[in-house]
Amino acid sequence: MSTHKSVEFKTAQPNQWLGLLGGGQLGRMFCMAAQRLGYKVLVLDPATNSPAGSVADGQVLADYLDDAGLAELAQRCVGVTTEFENVPALAMETLAASIPVSPSAFSVGVAQNRIEEKSYISGCGVPVAPHAPIRQAEDITAALETLLPGILKTARLGYDGKGQVRVKTLDDVKAAFDNLNQVECVLEKRLTLLKEVSVIVARDHQGECVTFPVAENHHRKGILATTIVPARIDDVMAAQARASAISIARALDYVGVLCVEFFVVEGMGLVVNEIAPRPHNSGHYSIDACVTCQFEQQARILAGLPLGDTRQHSPSVMVNLLGDLWFDAQGNEREPNWPGVLAMPEVKLHLYGKEQARVGRKMGHITVVAATLDRALEVAEAVRSLLGIGDDDD
């Protein structure tokens, strides 16, 4: 059990300021949720015109380790959270000396390193994929052959498929390790996956936990493409996934919103892939399909308010919108057919306000909210067809 604590949480009053490290789309949706509760949001981010900065009540235009910027955040805000896991731990530790920070620098630090992350999760009694750390070339020995074929992943800074190389032989591992500049890595055994699912868990500073329904995730080129909720798994496995997510949050003494990603593995059942110490792409559906969304939970926790009801009131399918859609087959820029999409009554469109579309860049998402899951899947397929979104890899 972690004993890393920040300053005591107190209930924030409307019109007080909540601080946010990071200006991306997760921060944008946090700002909107916090503002609905009556709070003001101050974003610290080095970029102008960021998705979160453009809707926040204020922005500190500074680097995450800028002393003056952090001091202003600490002075003006009653608490600070983050919208991405690679924020420097030192920034969070600096803030935690004077105001509540959720999640803690310790929790984020565990999630920033895949080796530590797997060790911590295993210590909770929750299964992870067979793996081995590779910190130097000498670690690549014949003993690793039991993990092949596998995937070599950088221990830090990997997301959306980045920093991952599929390997079949020890020579492949050596070459991949060299190509990754011999940074600290972990070699994972490639497993036969039946599904990928995730659970969003919210835990407040008093230790109260709630979980959202289990989401079923499908990817394209390593990037989340589609999320189906509720996941098409049996009730026993769904309950196990939610219980495991709570166990991990409690073991980390986690305060905030945490995503736990699972593989459903043939012959093994649920195996944790990784954790994300923040709201997650697979939880975006909750904005339109749940009583309380993941971003409102993040704001409630930071403000010292009771957790909200996570009940899902409508079956839902979320479709990610990548920058590819803004280009035709010849590479010419175009605007996707939003009027056609919005002519479908079950569709909710969320665009993130990014000024420049790039291939593979997350520009927005569509949530289909329908009376039945079959209908939601049908409409999602119609959306994909209209926009020219290809099939998922899995």
Query: Is residue 283 a known part of a binding site?
Result: no
Name the residue with tokens 């479908």.
344
With 70 as the cut, is the pLDDT of residue 182 above it?
A: yes
Query: Is residue 189 a known part of a binding site?
Result: yes
Distance between CA atoms of 339 and 350, rounded to whole angstroms? 13
Distance between CA atoms of 215 and 231, rounded to whole angstroms? 5
Query: Is residue 342 a known part of a binding site?
Result: no
Query: Is residue 273 a known part of a binding site?
Result: yes
With 70 as the cut, is the pLDDT of residue 158 above it?
A: no
Query: Is residue 162 a known part of a binding site?
Result: yes
With 90 as the cut, is the pLDDT of residue 19 above it?
A: yes
Query: Is residue 145 a known part of a binding site?
Result: no
DSSP one-letter code for 135: -
Q: How far apart are the first and last CA of the chain?
A: 36
Q: 368 — phi, psi (to 5°)?
A: -95, 125
pLDDT band per the 50, 70, 90 thresholds, residue 162:
low
Exposed/middle/buried for 187, CB within 10 Å: 0-12, 13-18, 19+? buried
With 90 as the cut, is the pLDDT of residue 393 above it?
A: no
Distance between CA atoms of 325 and 338, rounded to whole angstroms? 11
Distance between CA atoms of 198 and 50, rounded to whole angstroms? 28
Give whole-number Cα distances, 381 to 63, 150, 192, 316, 329, in Å: 41, 32, 26, 13, 21
Query: Is residue 15 a known part of a binding site?
Result: no
Query: Is residue 261 a known part of a binding site?
Result: no
Query: Is residue 164 a known part of a binding site?
Result: yes
With 90 as the cut, is the pLDDT of residue 18 above it?
A: yes
Report the pLDDT value the prediction gives residue 392, as an integer from 0 to 100: 81
User: What pTM does this model have?
Assistant: 0.93
How confident is the model over 237-250, as pLDDT tens digits? 999 999 999 999 99
How confident is the model over 210-220, as pLDDT tens digits? 999 999 999 99
Query: Is residue 153 a known part of a binding site?
Result: yes
DSSP one-letter code for 139: G
Report the pLDDT value the prediction gives residue 1, as an integer from 0 to 100: 42
The first and second tokens of residue 255, run together, are 């305060």
Q: Which amino acid is at 159?
A: Y
Exposure on the CB side of residue 238, measured as CA atoms within 13 A: 13
Report DSSP letters for 42-78, one per residue. Answer: EEEESSTT-TTTTTSSEEEES-TT-HHHHHHHHHHEE
With 60 as the cut, is the pLDDT of residue 2 above it?
A: no
How confident is the model over 340-387, as pLDDT tens digits? 999 999 999 999 999 999 999 999 999 999 999 999 999 999 999 999
Report the pLDDT value the prediction gives residue 286, as an integer from 0 to 100: 98
With 50 as the cut, is the pLDDT of residue 3 above it?
A: no
Query: Is residue 196 a known part of a binding site?
Result: yes
Sheet of 131-134: strand order equals 131-134, 185-189, 150-154, 164-167
Distance between CA atoms of 26 and 24, rounded to whole angstroms? 6
Q: Which residues contact 186 (CB under 8 A, 6 or more apart)?
A: 114, 115, 118, 131, 132, 133, 134, 152, 153, 155
Exposed/middle/buried for 355, CB within 10 Å: 0-12, 13-18, 19+? exposed
With 90 as the cut, is the pLDDT of residue 390 above it?
A: no
Higher per-residue confidence, 88 vs 394: 88
Average pLDDT, rounded, for the chain: 94
Give whole-number Cα distances, 168 to 47, 145, 172, 173, 268, in Å: 41, 9, 6, 8, 22
How confident is the model over 269-320, as pLDDT tens digits? 999 999 999 999 999 999 999 999 999 999 999 999 999 999 999 999 999 9
Report DSSP letters for 193-248, one per residue. Answer: EEEEEEEEEEE-TT--EEEPPPEEEEEETTEEEEEEES-SS-HHHHHHHHHHHHHH
pLDDT band per the 50, 70, 90 thresholds, residue 6:
low
pLDDT band per the 50, 70, 90 thresholds, residue 124:
confident
Nearest to 389 by CA among 324, 309, 345: 324
Nearest to 81 by CA among 47, 38, 46, 44: 44
Query: Is residue 163 a known part of a binding site?
Result: yes
Query: Is residue 365 a known part of a binding site?
Result: no
Please give the domain boundaries of the chain with CATH numbers for all domains: 17-112 (3.40.50.20), 130-189 (3.30.1490.20), 193-387 (3.30.470.20)
With 60 as the cut, is the pLDDT of residue 159 above it?
A: no
The first and second tokens of residue 327, run together, are 């280009």
How confident is the model over 23-42, as pLDDT tens digits? 999 999 999 999 999 999 99
